[in-house]
């Protein structure tokens, strides 16, 4: 998870987030090269005294500074489009999770697993419990790692946004509309997110917590939940 004074992206917990980080670094290098080149040209213009009184136009220079930016944009656009299509793919999900946004908490439904339902509220920070301030919840989402998960997102009142940065997920929760995406968690752990759409007075107090566990422990959790 992100910590104070950390300007980097969160560590990836899914293949899609890895691709997003790669694309971010790829684009940043291109922007850095452009910035250095333009800065060098501007500084050199300030500190030399070369003039050409007879230069009215130069079609070759105009051609060069049109073609080079076009090629640069292609190098940015192609990986971007590839990533965009990867984010939309949905390959045979093992589990479908439904997330419903409320003012100001989330409720979840495991429709495939005996209709398990629960609400998830933020819990007050307590130094004795060593929980994370404004991020921990009373009921975490339990999901198996190394499996494709589909999530359906909607809301009952206003627009919310279901977001887990380390998984590369950000889905708007619109009242009366069902949005869909999928993700693949490739390691165990606890992953935090928050509502990313300003939804009212307590917008900052509806966090999201996913606990990723092995498929065996997930089945045991399902059985224990049904028995209780």
Boundaries of every domain in the chain: 15-88, 95-226
Distance CA 175, CA 116 (A): 22
pLDDT tens track for 144-187: 998 889 999 999 989 999 999 889 889 999 998 999 988 899 98
Structure token digits, residue 147:
């499996």
pLDDT of residue 131: 72
So what's the pLDDT on residue 50?
Answer: 77
- Binned at pLDDT 50, 70 and 90, residue 3 comes out as low
The span from the CA of 87 to the CA of 18, in Å, is 12
* DSSP β-ladder status, 189-195 and 105-110: unpaired
pLDDT in tens, 77-123: 999 998 888 887 777 888 889 999 998 899 999 888 778 888 999 98
pLDDT in tens, 30-86: 999 999 999 998 898 888 877 776 667 778 888 888 999 999 999 999 999 988 888
Q: Which long-range contacts (CB under 8 A, 24 or more apart) does 112-119 make?
A: 113/222, 114/222, 114/226, 116/222, 116/225, 116/226
- DSSP-assigned letters across all residues of 126-151: -TTTTPPTTT-BSSPEEEESSSEEEE
Q: 15-88 adopts what CATH topology?
A: Helix Hairpins (1.10.287)
Selected from 2.60.40.420, 1.10.10.10, 3.40.1190.20, 2.40.30.10, the CATH number assigned to the domain covering 95-226 reads 2.60.40.420
């Amino acid at each position: 998870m992100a910590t104070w004074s950390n300007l980097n992206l969160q560590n990836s917990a899914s293949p899609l987030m890895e691709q997003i980080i790669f694309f971010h670094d790829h684009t940043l290098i291109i922007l850095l090269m452009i910035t250095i080149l333009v800065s060098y040209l501007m500084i050199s213009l300030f500190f030399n005294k070369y003039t050409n009184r007879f230069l009215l136009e130069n079609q070759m220079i105009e051609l060069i500074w049109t073609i080079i930016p076009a090629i640069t944009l292609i190098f940015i656009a192609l990986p971007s489009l590839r990533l965009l299509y990867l984010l939309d793919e949905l390959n045979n999900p093992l589990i479908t999770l439904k997330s419903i946004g409320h003012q100001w908490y989330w409720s979840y439904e495991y429709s495939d697993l005996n209709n398990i339902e629960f609400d998830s509220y933020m819990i007050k920070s307590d130094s004795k419990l060593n929980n994370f301030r404004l991020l921990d919840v009373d009921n975490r989402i339990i999901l198996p790692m190394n499996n494709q998960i589909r999530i359906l997102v909607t809301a009952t009142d206003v627009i919310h946004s279901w977001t887990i940065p380390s998984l590369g997920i950000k889905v708007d929760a619109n009242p009366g509309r069902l949005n869909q995406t999928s993700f693949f968690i490739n390691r165990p752990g606890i992953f935090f997110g928050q509502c990313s759409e300003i939804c009212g007075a307590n917008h900052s107090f509806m966090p999201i917590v996913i606990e990723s566990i092995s498929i065996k422990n997930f089945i045991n959790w399902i059985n224990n939940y049904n028995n209780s």
